[in-house]
Amino acid sequence: MNQLPGNKVDNDSKDGDTSGCFTNVGVLLLLIVLAMLTRGCNFFVSEPQNITSQITNTNEIKRETDDFIGKSVAIRSKPVQRIGLRSFAVNDRRLFGGKPIVVINASGVPFNLPEDRNIEVQVTGQVRNLNIPEIERKFKLKIQDEYYKDYINQPAIIAHYIALAPKPAQVTAQPQQYYGRRVAIIGEVKDIQSPSLLKLDEDKLIGGSDLLVLLKHPSRVAINEGQTVAIIGEVRPFVIADIERNYNLNLNWGWNLRKKLEAEYKNTPVLVADSVYP
């Protein structure tokens, strides 16, 4: 802020003109613009993760490739196989044939495929023809050509966001697979216990348990029981003190409530949510 034009106000006002007033107005307008830009930045950082608003089927991308080239898409699909060090293939209809689509991780964050291939992954990225020199140049990547010979000039997704996309019951059944990992989960809201604590329905899996969700911040949208939502966050063991420390939260739960919740949810996972989308 030391470089803002407002630092010259005192010197200019000594001349007896009104330039100081205009400078003050200019500073005010600049601060307003900066505030708007800051809010905009926060919005656009989280918005690419909301890929559930328009999920695209990979078969649609393969059928109508020309319509998708250069566009950002969102998919949820089961991975078929790993290809290179930073890529894997997905296919929505493996049982009915058809060549998979390559996903190249350009997010800058390493991503390990789930051991259980029945778990979906969530990907947001740009559709490109797999022209390796062009992709390396545009996205500043280094790609091992030999892994991609079967996919050259086929549609590929250059991903800037990738997360596991399990069902709620898959997390509660084997939470160790998800602890410390970011996930994007779609489920039905159930048992709203407070503005910051609710559950996601087990999604019709027999014997599955509901997934506990803790909202780090108030939701931007109304959340109602029975509503289907997408929630993005990190899976942790339900230990209140650890969650408050690791996420710099003050949950303002009284001692009796804390003891009750920790007794009820001891050794169970909780999804610490960054974002909620209808």
Are 32 and 126 part of one and the same domain?
no
Average pLDDT of the segment spanning 111-120 = 88
pLDDT tens digits along 27-42:
333 333 333 333 333 3
Neighbours of 125 (CB within 10 A): 24
pLDDT value at residue 96: 54
| CATH at 191 | 2.40.50.200
pLDDT value at residue 202: 66
Are 128 and 32 part of one and the same domain?
no
Place 237 in a pLDDT band, splitting at 50, 70 and 90: very high
Average pLDDT of the segment spanning 59-82 = 93
Q: Which residue has the higher pLDDT, 221 or 30?
A: 221
Give the number of domains in the chain: 3
Q: Indicate whether 91 pLDDT > 90.
A: no
Q: What proportions of the chain, in percent to the nearest 5, are helix, strand and coil?
A: 35, 30, 35
**Residue of 269, 58, 56 whose CA lies nearest to 168:** 269
Q: Indicate whether 18 pLDDT > 80.
A: no
Task: Give the range of the structural domain holding residue 28, as residue numbers without chain letter.
Answer: 5-47
Average pLDDT over the chain, rounded to an integer: 80
Strands (E), the chain: 72-77, 79-82, 87-90, 101-105, 120-129, 155-165, 182-194, 197-200, 211-215, 228-237, 269-277
pLDDT tens digits along 151-210:
999 999 999 999 999 999 999 999 999 999 999 999 999 999 888 999 998 655 555 689
pLDDT value at residue 194: 87
**Is the pTM for the entire model greater than 0.85?**
no
Are 56 and 145 part of one and the same domain?
yes
Q: Cα–Cα distance between 84 and 141 in angstroms, integer?
A: 12
